[in-house]
């Protein structure tokens, strides 16, 4: 890898008055000495504060489990005092595992759970099974299989037994196993009591990135059951087969893992908006704001995996990860097309202990516009159904529905609109608003494999920028098929992909031009004035 | 407060993957979707108006998820229901056990709810008799015992599907008629009384 890394003064941080906001924005945005650089004044920053829980990056996603965030993997026999301390905290769990292995043998076949007839009937001894790039396994602390991405859980109980054994062996020595690196594979372990998550990856990503993905899977499971219920179930019976409760939800986890490979939003802890003229978005937002109900907490309008608008109760913030879990629920279930959906859902970052109740429905049967109304009251279905009706009526009265539908049918925007030569693709995240924007994928990256490869490159840059011991401000990387440039400031994060003909000088000068363009387009690409009720 | 005028609340109950959603899909949208099985999340609500004689009855159908995860929630779906269509898969005996569970649940919690037992996937049986695991007469006996109606349906071919919902609507309609007549009489009398109460005694 030919990497070119700078840590000295950043050349593009010049005072450029041209980054000043357009006229319709408030004046104080241009008063800042370095507009676009300080958090809250960068292009895309919301005017009235954040819409989401403030999220820098995945640090806050993993913070609760990584009290000691050194990035080293604890090898077997490693007696790092920090690890020992952590293991000591988790001590007293060894006995559990001993009985568990017996319990497992006893219970095999007793409680057979009908695994759905998905494409899971893969032979776990076959070469294709081995060659998958990302395996994810979830097991209980008693070593009972709960989820596998490929193959059936039954067939893998012995492999999961080995994982359990590895984990408890290291814990026995008052230590914690984080990962094993061997033969191009990374095996990453994550203990989130009462669950254990193990990922087997064939990738060059850092352990932190991989642990982040396991966290997503963990929260996906919590969102279905709540942490309270999860703990309760295993307190009553260590050897409980959690698949009984999760039956039918495997496709949600499958789809989440696919999203993790493709959607930069999950990587950046940010959400993408549907590009929409600000006047149209304002009408949609205010219509949604007007359709309120007593127990309504969040009203979210989605177009596929893009956000049209979000209205929230005053002082209540949604975490971007909870929103991604909602996205995933909607895009991976056809169930909501059949009528109005009404389902309990836990938003684990908001509160892992309880359920919200979500009214989920498409605005029209064939439309991609999906409305999610989140309430605290489980009897609220008809109230929310009425909210939706009022919202639709208002939209139609102001003839905003048409423009919304049109925006939906258009592709996002081509990168050529920016007018930077050799630029193929970029991802820009405004830190204060938690929103990001990105053009359509150009030709070479439209194929699934190439798409995932590009995301993999971004992911690699991301882990370089956010390296806990040696964070970088920017990085330029020449690869065989593209040149990449990434930078992070207190206000934004930017990832650029150039053709191999691009040069470093070009990349550095492109940043300014791109920021100007985003500033000019920001009221179309971002939600600048989020509403509350 | 209620968004749409719904005359009768109908709830679909039964083990997962017996075909509750397919049954509703066939009845409401007149289609049968082939493709990988997709479980229902929580519950889905659809309103459907149909004619009974010269009257229009709107059924509010709650298609609930069969997964055990939602069992604790199921109460809110069947509370106040006028009819419950309890489904079981004709080719899966364990699904009938589950149907018995729901019947018991309804008998305990919702005594005014009429029960309709509905065996699904009858097209599979017609194709191959040996796959039947739930005997017709056993279910008929059970239905008689609990005072329920009994149907065997196929969402794929549409066999008996309309009949189930038509029967539900008819039963509701004839039942509602009785209710209404009674109430009318009582209502008028009551109003009069209260009117006099208010005027004369205060």
Say if residues A478 and A7 touch (Cβ distance below 8 Å): no
Has residue A6 got a pLDDT over 60?
A: no
pLDDT of residue A99: 37
B67 contacts in chain A (CB < 8 Å): 245, 247-249
Q: How far apart are CA B120 and CA B23, in angstroms?
A: 8
Has residue B108 got a pLDDT over 80?
A: yes
A24-38, B30-44, B51-65, range with greatest mean pLDDT: B51-65
Q: How far apart are CA A269 and CA A474, in angstroms?
A: 19
Comparing B40 with A116, the larger pLDDT belongs to B40
Which tokens is A75 given?
């090898």
Has residue A533 got a pLDDT over 80?
A: yes
Which tokens is A211 given?
């642990």
SS3 A41: coil
Question: With bands split at pLDDT 50, 70 and 90, how would you rate the model's confidence at A50?
Answer: low
pLDDT digits (tens, 9 = 90+) for A76-92: 333 344 443 433 333 33
**CATH architecture of the domain with range A271-409:** 2-Layer Sandwich (3.30)
- CATH number for the domain formed by residue range(s) A119-262: 3.30.450.70
pLDDT of residue A236: 92
SS3 A344: strand
In the sheet that holds B43-52, the strands lie side by side as: A531-532, A306-312, A296-303, A369-375, A356-362, A340-345, B43-52, B55-64, B8-14, B83-89, B114-120, B149-152
Comparing A86 with A286, the larger pLDDT belongs to A286
Say if residues B78 and B13 touch (Cβ distance below 8 Å): yes
Q: How far apart are CA A227 and CA A246, in angstroms?
A: 13
B73 contacts in chain A (CB < 8 Å): 344, 378
Say if residues A36 and A43 touch (Cβ distance below 8 Å): yes
Q: How far apart are CA A137 and CA B133, in angstroms?
A: 35
- Cα atoms in the 13 Å half-sphere on the side-chain side of B122: 16
What number is the ipTM of this complex? 0.83
When mean pLDDT is compared across A18-32, A346-360, A389-403, A408-422, the lowest value belongs to A18-32
Has residue A454 got a pLDDT over 80?
A: yes
Q: Are strands A306-312 and A531-532 parallel, antiparallel or unpaired?
A: parallel
Comparing B72 with A120, the larger pLDDT belongs to B72
Has residue A242 got a pLDDT over 80?
A: yes
Has residue A303 got a pLDDT over 50?
A: yes
Question: With bands split at pLDDT 50, 70 and 90, how would you rate the model's confidence at A25?
Answer: very low
- Residue in B41, B58, B67, B80 to test binding to A, most A beta-carbons within 10 Å: B41
pLDDT of residue A153: 85
Q: How many CB atoms lie within 10 A of CB B119?
A: 26
Dmax (CA) for chain B in angstroms is 77
* Nearest CB neighbour to A247, from listed B1, B16, B76: B16
B68 contacts in chain A (CB < 8 Å): 244-245, 247
When mean pLDDT is compared across A58-67, A423-432, B137-146, the lowest value belongs to A58-67
* Nearest CB neighbour to A343, from listed B1, B29, B42: B42
Has residue A36 got a pLDDT over 70?
A: no
Partner-chain contact B25 A382, CB within 8 Å: no
pLDDT of residue A106: 36
Has residue A65 got a pLDDT over 90?
A: no
When mean pLDDT is compared across A91-100, A314-323, B82-91, B171-180, the lowest value belongs to A91-100
Q: How far apart are CA B151 and CA A178, in angstroms?
A: 57
What's the pTM value of the predicted model, to 2 decimals?
Answer: 0.82
Question: With bands split at pLDDT 50, 70 and 90, how would you rate the model's confidence at B13?
Answer: very high
Fold of A415-525: Beta-Lactamase (3.30.450)
Say if residues A296 and A313 touch (Cβ distance below 8 Å): yes
Dihedral over alpha carbons A250, A251, A256, A262 (to 10 degrees): 140
Partner-chain contact B2 A386, CB within 8 Å: yes
pLDDT digits (tens, 9 = 90+) for B56-106: 999 999 999 988 888 888 888 888 899 999 999 999 999 999 999 999 999
Say if residues B143 and B134 touch (Cβ distance below 8 Å): no
Residues of A with CB under 8 A from a CB of B: 114, 116-118, 224-225, 244-249, 251, 329, 333-336, 338-345, 358, 360, 378-379, 381-383, 385-386, 388-389
* Nearest CB neighbour to A247, from listed B42, B61, B67: B67
* Nearest CB neighbour to A117, from listed B29, B37, B43: B37
pLDDT of residue A371: 95
Domains of chain A: which residue ranges? 119-262, 271-409, 415-525
Q: How many CB atoms lie within 10 A of CB B39?
A: 21
Which tokens is A524 given?
């179309």
Give strand ranges (E) for A8-116: none
Classify the C-alpha dihedral A470-A471-A474-A476 as positive or negative.
Answer: positive
Residues 6+ apart with CB under 8 A from A34: A13, A15
Comparing B162 with A62, the larger pLDDT belongs to B162
The string of DSSP letters for A495-516 reads: EEEE-TT--HHHHHHHHHHHHH
When mean pLDDT is compared across A140-144, A311-315, A333-337, the lowest value belongs to A333-337
- Write the DSSP symbol of residue A24: T
Q: What is the mean pLDDT of chain B?
A: 84
Tell me what the mean pLDDT of segment A426-440 comes to.
Answer: 93
pLDDT of residue B63: 93
Q: How far is CA A2 from the centre of its chain?
A: 29
Partner-chain contact B44 A114, CB within 8 Å: no
Q: How far apart are CA A47 and CA A28, in angstroms?
A: 10
Q: How far apart are CA B41 and CA A338, in angstroms?
A: 11
Radius of gyration of chain A (CA): 24
% residues pLDDT > 70 (chain A): 79
Say if residues A361 and B42 touch (Cβ distance below 8 Å): no
Residue A370: C-alpha distances to residues A302, A309, A459 (Å): 5, 11, 29
The string of DSSP letters for A444-493 reads: GG-SHHHHHHHHHHHHHHHHHHT-SSS--SEEEEE-SS-EEEEEE-SSEE
Q: How far is CA A527 from the centre of its chain?
A: 19
Tell me what the mean pLDDT of segment A169-175 comes to.
Answer: 89
Tell me what the mean pLDDT of segment A302-323 comes to.
Answer: 91
Question: With bands split at pLDDT 50, 70 and 90, how would you rate the model's confidence at B190?
Answer: very low
Residues forming beta bridges with residue B150, ordered by sequence position: B117
Tell me what the mean pLDDT of segment A306-315 comes to.
Answer: 92
Q: How many residues does chain A have?
A: 533
Q: How far apart are CA A521 and CA A528, in angstroms?
A: 11
Q: Among A124, A132, A178, A181, which residue's Cα sits nearest to residue A154?
A: A124
Q: How far apart are CA A10 and CA A472, in angstroms?
A: 12
Q: What are phi and psi of A201, to 5 degrees?
A: -120, 140
Q: Residue A236, exposed/middle/buried by CB under 10 A (0-12, 13-18, 19+)? A: exposed
Tell me what the mean pLDDT of segment B171-192 comes to.
Answer: 57
pLDDT of residue A124: 78
Residues 6+ apart with CB under 8 A from A61: A55, A212, A215, A269, A321
Comparing A386 with A30, the larger pLDDT belongs to A386
Q: Among A375, A372, A408, which residue's Cα sits nearest to residue A388?
A: A372
Q: Among A278, A274, A270, which residue's Cα sits nearest to residue A301?
A: A274
Distance from CA of A247 to the nearest CA of B (A): 6
Say if residues A147 and A246 touch (Cβ distance below 8 Å): yes
- Domains of chain B with CATH codes: 8-183 (3.40.50.300)
Residues 6+ apart with CB under 8 A from B132: B90, B91, B125
% residues pLDDT > 90 (chain B): 57
* Nearest CB neighbour to B67, from listed A248, A329, A378: A248
Residue in chain B closest to A385 (alpha carbons) equals: B3
Say if residues A6 and A27 touch (Cβ distance below 8 Å): no
Question: Which string of b and e fits A345-381 if b means at least 16 CB within 10 Å?
Answer: bbbbbbebeebbbbbbbbbeeeebbbbbbbbeeeebb
Has residue A445 got a pLDDT over 50?
A: yes
Has residue A115 got a pLDDT over 50?
A: no
Tell me what the mean pLDDT of segment A83-106 comes to.
Answer: 37
Partner-chain contact A247 B68, CB within 8 Å: yes
Has residue A130 got a pLDDT over 80?
A: yes
A434: left (phi over 0), alpha (psi -120 to 50) or beta: left
Q: Residue A499, exposed/middle/buried by CB under 10 A (0-12, 13-18, 19+)? A: middle
CATH topology of A119-262 equal to that of A415-525? Answer: yes
Q: How far apart are CA B161 and CA B67, in angstroms?
A: 23
Q: How far is CA B36 from the centre of its chain?
A: 25
Residues 6+ apart with CB under 8 A from A339: A361, B24, B28, B44, B45, B46, B61, B63
Q: How far apart are CA B163 and CA B149, in angstroms?
A: 11
């Amino acid at each position: 890898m030919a990497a070119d890394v700078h840590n000295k003064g950043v050349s593009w941080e010049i005072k450029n008055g041209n980054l000043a906001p357009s006229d319709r924005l408030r004046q104080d945005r241009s008063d800042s000495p370095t507009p676009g650089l300080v958090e809250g004044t960068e292009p895309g920053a919301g005017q009235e504060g954040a819409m989401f829980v403030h999220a820098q990056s995945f640090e806050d996603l993993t913070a609760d489990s990584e009290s000691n965030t050194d990035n080293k993997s604890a090898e077997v026999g490693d007696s790092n005092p920090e690890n020992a301390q952590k293991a000591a905290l988790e001590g007293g769990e060894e006995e559990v595992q001993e009985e568990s292995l017996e319990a497992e043998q006893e219970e095999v076949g007793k409680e057979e759970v009908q695994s759905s007839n998905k494409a899971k009937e893969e032979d776990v001894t076959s070469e294709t099974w081995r060659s998958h790039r990302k395996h994810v396994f979830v097991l209980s602390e008693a070593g009972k299989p709960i989820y596998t991405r490929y193959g059936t859980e039954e067939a893998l109980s012995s492999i999961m037994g080995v994982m359990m054994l590895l984990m408890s062996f290291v814990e026995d020595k008052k230590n914690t196993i984080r990962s094993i690196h061997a033969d191009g594979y990374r095996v990453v372990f994550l203990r989130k009591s009462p669950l254990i998550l193990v990922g087997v990856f064939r990738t060059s990503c850092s352990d932190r990135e991989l642990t982040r993905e396991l966290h997503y899977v963990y929260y996906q499971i919590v969102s279905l059951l709540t942490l309270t219920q999860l703990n309760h179930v295993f307190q009553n019976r260590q050897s409980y087969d959690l698949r009984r409760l999760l039956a039918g939800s495997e496709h949600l986890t499958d789809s989440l893992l696919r999203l993790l490979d493709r959607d930069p939003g999950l990587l950046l802890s940010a959400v993408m908006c549907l590009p929409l003229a600000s006047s149209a978005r304002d009408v949609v937002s205010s219509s949604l704001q007007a359709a309120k109900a007593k127990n309504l907490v969040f009203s979210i309008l989605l177009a596929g995996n893009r956000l049209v608008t979000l209205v929230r109760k005053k002082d209540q913030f949604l975490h971007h990860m909870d929103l991604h879990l909602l996205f995933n629920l909607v895009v991976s279930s056809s169930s909501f097309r059949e009528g109005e959906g009404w389902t309990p859902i836990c938003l684990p970052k908001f509160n892992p202990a309880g359920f919200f109740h979500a009214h989920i429905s498409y605005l029209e049967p064939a439309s991609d516009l999906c409305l999610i109304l989140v309430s605290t009251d489980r009897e609220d279905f008809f109230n929310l159904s009425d909210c939706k009706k009022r919202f639709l009526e208002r939209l139609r009265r102001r003839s905003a529905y048409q423009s919304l539908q049109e925006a939906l049918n258009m592709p996002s925007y081509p990168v050529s609109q920016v007018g930077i030569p050799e630029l193929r693709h970029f991802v820009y995240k405004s830190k204060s608003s938690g929103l990001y924007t990105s053009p359509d994928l150009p030709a070479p990256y439209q194929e699934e494999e190439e798409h995932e490869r590009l995301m993999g490159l971004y992911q690699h840059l991301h882990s370089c920028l956010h390296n806990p011991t040696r964070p970088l401000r920017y990085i330029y990387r020449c690869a065989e098929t593209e040149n990449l440039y990434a930078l992070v400031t207190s206000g934004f994060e930017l990832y650029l992909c150039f053709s191999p003909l691009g040069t470093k000088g070009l990349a550095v000068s492109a940043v300014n031009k791109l920021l100007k363009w985003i500033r000019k387009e920001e009221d179309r690409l971002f939600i600048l004035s989020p509403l509350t009720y | 407060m209620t968004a749409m005028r719904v005359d009768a609340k109908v709830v679909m109950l039964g083990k997962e993957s017996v075909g509750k959603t397919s049954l509703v899909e066939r009845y409401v949208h007149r289609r049968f979707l082939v493709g990988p099985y997709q479980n229902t999340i929580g519950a889905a609500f659809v309103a459907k108006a149909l004619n009974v004689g010269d009257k229009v009855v709107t059924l509010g159908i709650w298609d609930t998820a069969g997964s055990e995860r939602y069992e604790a929630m199921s109460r809110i779906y069947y509370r106040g229901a006028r009819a419950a269509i309890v489904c079981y898969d004709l080719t899966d005996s364990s699904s009938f056990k589950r149907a018995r569970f729901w019947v018991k649940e309804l008998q305990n919690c919702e005594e005014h709810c009429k029960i309709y037992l509905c065996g699904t996937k009858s097209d599979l049986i017609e194709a191959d008799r040996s796959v039947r695991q739930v005997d017709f007469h056993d279910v008929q006996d059970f239905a008689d015992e609990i005072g329920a109606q009994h149907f065997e349906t196929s969402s794929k071919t549409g066999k008996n599907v309309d009949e189930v919902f038509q029967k539900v609507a008819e039963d509701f309609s004839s039942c509602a008629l009785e209710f209404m007549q009674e109430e009318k009489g009582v209502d008028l009398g009551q109003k009069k009384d209260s009117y006099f109460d208010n005027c004369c005694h205060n």
